Amino acid sequence: MKRSTTRLDRFISQNSGFSMGEVRLLIAQHKILLDGIPAHCIRQPVTRFTRVVLDGIVLSDAQPVYLALHKPAGVVSATKDGKHPTVLDLVRHPRKHELHLAGRLDFNTTGLVLLTNDGAWSRRLSAPETKLPKVYEVSVARPLSEEYVAAFRAGIYFAYEGMTTLPAQLEIRSARTCRLSLVEGKYHQVKRMFGHFGNKVLSLHRVSIGPVRLGELQAGTTRPLTRSELAQVAQR
């Protein structure tokens, strides 16, 4: 995935007493390490998360942070709010001030949200072409039927936007509960899709986003994403 980058020679000149012209010599002397590997070209890209060491001195050591959070009800999907606790209030991480949300949930919706300091990664998650499935457990006020399954698969027209939702998979679990998988994130989309049938959503719980699953993560707690989860997102 792409991130904002700068050339190695420009980065060194901006963060040390060496000029851009001197970087070739530093490379030849193996005095520049990028993520622990000797640099080999003045044009090598340096991102905000590249660890750059010049002659034993660390010039840049920022690390990306990727967290999964189990959001409880009554918590705002924001980093600041004057009235209610936010998802960031639940995070216990030394660099929490750098984090932002990669996908939101409504105030009373529970389940999985992702936080990161990597803007390119979060933009990739929400990009239409990535199409990461988001899976929800839903309970509704009125009984479900196969008519819902067919309509969700075909797509439901939203008059306000003048658009039809992409195909979604609905699995009925009981008369009034189901599991829903969709790849979009329109405003109040799940509630509006059931509202098409005049059916009110009573509870909404997100259990996964792509390869990242909530699992046994307790409400109000976080965990770092695994290498496997990150690799699977990067491959999409």
pLDDT in tens, 169-224: 999 999 999 999 999 988 899 999 999 999 999 999 999 999 999 999 999 999 99
Is pLDDT of 128 > 80?
Answer: no
pTM for the predicted model, two decimal places: 0.82
The predicted pLDDT at position 196 comes to 95
Question: Residues 178, 144: contact at Cβ < 8 Å?
Answer: yes
User: What average pLDDT does the segment 77-90 reach?
Assistant: 91
Residues 28-66 as b or e (16 or more Cβ within 10 Å = b) = eeebbbbeeeebeebebebbbbbbbbbeeeebbeeebbb
Catalytic residues: 106
Could you tell me the pLDDT band of residue 35, with boundaries at 50, 70 and 90?
Answer: very high
Report the range of poorest mean pLDDT among 59-63, 125-129, 134-138, 170-174.
125-129
The predicted pLDDT at position 41 comes to 96
Task: Report residue 185 as tokens.
Answer: 């994130």
CA distances from 185 to 6, 130, 189, 197 (A): 33, 12, 6, 19
Could you tell me the pLDDT band of residue 39, with boundaries at 50, 70 and 90?
Answer: very high
Question: Residues 202, 139: contact at Cβ < 8 Å?
Answer: yes
Report the range of poorest mean pLDDT among 38-42, 81-85, 165-169.
81-85
User: What average pLDDT does the segment 130-145 reach?
Assistant: 95
d(CA 22, CA 20): 5
DSSP-derived 3-state class of residue 12: helix
The predicted pLDDT at position 3 comes to 54
DSSP-derived 3-state class of residue 176: coil
Could you tell me the pLDDT band of residue 129, with boundaries at 50, 70 and 90?
Answer: confident
Average pLDDT, the chain: 93
d(CA 42, CA 33): 12
The predicted pLDDT at position 2 comes to 45
Residue 109's CB: how many other CB atoms inside 10 A? 21
The predicted pLDDT at position 235 comes to 74
* pLDDT tens, position by position, 97-121: 889 998 889 999 999 999 999 988 8
d(CA 38, CA 125): 32
CA-wise closest residue to 71 among 204, 211, 226: 204
